[in-house]
Amino acid sequence: MLVHGVGRCLRKFCLISIASSMMLMGVNTAFADVSWAVLDANSGRFLGEEKAGRIHPPASLAKMMTLYLTFEAIKAGRLKWDDRVVVSRNASIKIPMKLWVKPRNTISVREAVNGMIVISANDAAAAIGEHISGSESDFARLMTQRAKRLGLRDTVFTNPSGLTDGKKQSTTARDMALLGLALQRDFPVEYALFSKRSFVFRGKLLRGHNNLMYRHDGVDGIKTGFTSAADYNIVSSYARNNHHLIGVVLGGKTARKRDDRMEALLTRFSTQGAGGRLMARNVPVPTWRPDNSLHVADLIDESLIEQGDGGLAALEPSGWQIQIAAVPSHATAQKLLGKAGKFVRAINSDAAGQIEPTKKGNATLFRVRFDGFSDLRSAGRACTVLKHQKFDCFAIHP
C-alpha cells in the first residue's frame, strides 16, 4: 500500500510538475517574439534589454529614417518645407494609412512630414522617397547606408514606408533606440514635431494614434508601427524629472499589450539609477528642446485605429468591388470592415477590404469596400451573403 501510495504521489507530483512546466512554457511562448530595449539618452547607456539584438521587421518605424533623411535634406538646403512633391501612381496606391492624394497631384514637404508623423501616411513616405532619390529602391539604399553610419549595425531598409517586403526589411530593438536618439540629437527643433497630435490637411482634421503619448506623463513621441509580419512596434521618448529615456518594444501581440509593456518599462527605468551596461559604441548626447506649444490635448481620441498595412500588397482595383457602407467616422468604418470581412472572405479568399474617404458637401464620409471580384456575378453573390447578415451591399464597377 505504501509503495502504491508513494507511486500515486510521485505520479501526482510529476503531473503537477509537467502542468507547471507547460504553463511556464506558455508564458514564455506568449512573449517569445517580443524584444525591447531602454536607452538612457543622458548617460549613453542601455539600462536594460531583452532579445534586443533579435532581427525583426520595423513596420512603420522605418519612417523614422525617412524623416531623418528628409530633415537632413532640409538642413542642407536641398529641400524646403514649402517645396511641392509630386505623388506618383506608385505612391498613391499604397495601403492606408495615407493622405489619399490622387496621382500627379502634389503635396508640400511640410504636409508629407506631418502625414508621416501624425497618421503614418504611406503615400507621403513613398512620395518623399521618390522625390529625394528618384525611386523607392534608391531611397531605401540611402536609408540603409545612413543607418550604418549612425551605428545601426543590423538594420536594412527596402522602402521608405516600412510596408511588408518579405523578410528583407529588418532591424532590432537596439538599433531603433539609436535611431530615435539620432533624430533628437541631430534635429532637436524638427524632433518636436513628433509630439504633434493632429494636423489639418486640405480642410480635414487628421488625428494621431500614438496613445501612449496621451496616457503616460513625460512621453512626447516618437513612432508606432504595425504589420502582420511585425505585429505591434513602438519607439517612445520619455523626458521628465531629469530622466531622458528612449524605449523600444517590438512584436507586441496587440497595440494595448505593446503600450502596457512600454509604460511598465518607462516607469521602471525612470525610477531607478542610471546604471546599466555601457553601450559598445559612442553615442553623443542630444540637446533636448521640448515644444509644448505643439501639444493639442483637447483633440485626443483614443478610439482611432492603429496604422498598418496588415502585411498585404497594395490594392489594385479589380473589375468589380462591393460597398457595404458610407459612414461619417473612420473608426466606425474600420469596425464594419472587420465584421463584414469574415463573411466576404468565406466566399472569396482574395477579397481585400479598404476604406475610402469621400466628400459629400462639407462632410467627409468613409466608404467601406471590398475589392477582388472578377465579375458582377461574384460580386452579387458576396452581396447576397452580406444582406443575409443584415449588411447593406451593392456592386460597383470602377
- Bridging pattern class, strands 45-50 and 35-40: antiparallel
* First and final C-alpha spacing in the chain: 81
With residue 31 as reference, give the H or E element that holds it: none
Beta bridge partners of 56: 171
For the CA atoms of 295, 296, 299, 305, the dihedral, rounded to the nearest 10 degrees, stands at -20
| 390 belongs to an annotated ligand binding site | no
Which amino acid is residue 91, in one-letter code?
Answer: A
User: How many C-beta atoms surround the C-beta of residue 323 within 10 A?
Assistant: 17
- Bridging pattern class, strands 363-373 and 320-327: antiparallel
- Cell numbers found for residue 222: 516618437
Active-site positions read 60, 63, 120
> Pick from 273, 294, 323: which is nearest to 190 by CA?
294
> Is the torsion defined by CA of 382, 345, 60, 223 positive or negative?
positive
User: How many C-beta atoms surround the C-beta of residue 81 within 10 A?
Assistant: 11
Which residues fall in the annotated binding site for substrate? 223
Which residues fall in the annotated binding site? 223
